[in-house]
């Protein structure tokens, strides 16, 4: 099998890249180790930055998002039983975010790819990426019990932290930057309308809490829990009780409860792999970087990566210059590190650290007070949350 761009992974990054390339008349093949049902069911991010929304619309993948997604013009911060809203459009010149689950993005892009795009092979496990320093890199993969080889001009690894792509970069050329946090997020999906029309980020003496949503009738909520917590250790009633404590306010706001349909714990860590390019292999998304979910940046960073690659390859075709491809890693990493910074600042702003001193806690509250009193501080948060420029 032969193509211009071999894409490993049919998450939102790989699927969007295939769509962007198809729109430019560049052929590709997508290899996905899981079956279609798994890809369309796996729960991940649900907040799309303004730039991600714009890219999906321009790619012809925004029709259902615009119909069913929930535009949000701000978030609410809660601390000391007080409420403070951050108004995104007023602070950023009109930017907002969209609540639209990654599962739905994948469904939309899969449907488009199968109808209009190049080959998308499910249950096609990539075994190795070879020859990336030559002009003919290749991906060895297994599909329907048979091994095969995909020959390419370029390989883009969108196969996550545990995939084969990152392993194809020699260890002696790699630099890894990582931070783990001593807590995780216990998350639930519940069949109940959200108790607030925007996301609520709460700092409480018992720990962080987040009120989010997936649809107008489905709530997504999170609690900070110690690292290594088993979701089964918490009953549904215990989770709702704790959410009520941490989200409490001095006014008459109340938390609506409903049947819990899913429960899981998400670990918290930051990870960056440099470089994001080796020869004709380009890393994108979780294959190159991971952020704690506090800043809602994971999916959006992946979109930035593949958009940068698609534009660089189109530039190479149109001009004959490879300067943008050569600058891929540097270009993406500027945005990645800003997103890592923002996610770190949101995490340390809102979570209780087990070794925090009374001084640390007062500084945390002072930072929140600053956001409530300073338009400049609000603007910095709004700029970061709605998204950094794609290039």
Distance from C-alpha of 288 to C-alpha of 276, rounded to nearest angstrom: 6
Query: Is 201 an annotated catalytic residue?
Result: yes
Looking at 100, 154, 181, 201, which residue is catalytic?
201
* Token pair listed for 370: 């600053």
Residues in the chain: 391
Query: Is 293 an annotated catalytic residue?
Result: yes
Q: Which helix (H) or strand (E) holds 39?
A: helix 36-41
| Residues 150/183, Cβ–Cβ less than 8 Å | no
Each residue of 339-366: b (16+ CB within 10 Å) or e? bbebbbbbbbbbbbeeeeeeeeeeebee
* Token pair listed for 98: 């969209």
Looking at 194, 297, 328, 351, which residue is catalytic?
297
Distance from C-alpha of 79 to C-alpha of 247, rounded to nearest angstrom: 9
Looking at 12, 292, 293, 328, which residue is catalytic?
293
Beta strand residue intervals within the chain, DSSP E:
5-8, 28-31, 47-48, 70-72, 74-79, 82-87, 97-99, 120-121, 124-130, 138-143, 146-151, 154-157, 175-190, 199-203, 209-215, 218-226, 260-274, 277-278, 281-283, 289-290
Query: Is 273 an annotated catalytic residue?
Result: no
Looking at 12, 72, 154, 351, which residue is catalytic?
72
Query: Is 297 an annotated catalytic residue?
Result: yes
3 state SS of 299: helix
Query: Is 119 an annotated catalytic residue?
Result: no
* Token pair listed for 381: 């948060």
| Residues 332/282, Cβ–Cβ less than 8 Å | no
| Residues labelled catalytic | 72, 201, 293, 297, 385
């Amino acid at each position: 099998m032969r193509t211009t761009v071999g894409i490993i992974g049919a998450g939102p990054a790989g699927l969007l890249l295939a769509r962007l390339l198809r729109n430019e008349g560049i052929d590709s093949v997508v290899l996905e180790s899981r079956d279609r049902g798994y890809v369309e069911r796996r729960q991940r991010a649900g907040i799309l930055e303004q730039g991600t929304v714009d890219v999906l619309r321009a790619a012809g993948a925004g029709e259902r998002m615009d119909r069913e997604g929930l535009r949000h013009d701000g978030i609410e911060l809660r601390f000391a039983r007080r409420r403070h809203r951050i108004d995104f459009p007023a602070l950023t010149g009109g930017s907002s975010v969209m609540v639209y689950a990654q599962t739905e993005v994948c469904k939309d892009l899969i449907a488009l790819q199968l109808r209009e795009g190049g080959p998308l092979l499910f249950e096609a496990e990539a075994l190795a990426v070879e020859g990336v320093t030559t002009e003919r890199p290749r991906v060895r993969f297994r599909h329907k019990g048979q091994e095969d080889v995909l020959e390419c001009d370029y390989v883009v690894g969108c196969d996550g932290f545990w995939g084969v792509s990152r392993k194809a970069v020699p260890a002696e050329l790699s630099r890894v930057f990582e931070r783990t946090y001593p807590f995780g997020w216990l998350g639930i999906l519940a069949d109940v309308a959200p108790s607030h029309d925007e996301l609520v980020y709460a700092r409480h003496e018992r720990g962080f809490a987040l009120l989010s949503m997936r649809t107008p009738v489905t709530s997504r909520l999170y609690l900070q829990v110690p690292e290594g917590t088993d979701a089964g250790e918490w009953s549904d009633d215990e989770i709702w009780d704790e959410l009520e404590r941490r989200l409490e306010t001095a006014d008459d706001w109340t938390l609506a409860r409903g049947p819990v349909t899913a429960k899981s714990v998400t670990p918290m860590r930051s990870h960056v792999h440099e470089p994001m390019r080796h020869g004709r292999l380009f890393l994108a998304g979780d294959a190159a970087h991971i952020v704690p979910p506090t800043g809602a940046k994971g999916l959006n960073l992946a979109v930035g990566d593949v958009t940068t690659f698609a534009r660089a390859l189109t530039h190479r075709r149109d001009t004959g210059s490879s300067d943008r491809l050569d600058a891929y890693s540097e270009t993406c990493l500027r945005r990645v590190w800003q997103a890592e910074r923002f996610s770190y600042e949101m995490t340390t702003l809102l979570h209780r650290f087990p070794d925090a001193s009374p001084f640390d806690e007062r500084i945390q509250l002072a930072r929140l007070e600053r956001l409530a009193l300073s338009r400049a501080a609000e603007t910095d948060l709004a700029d970061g949350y709605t998204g950094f420029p794609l290039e």
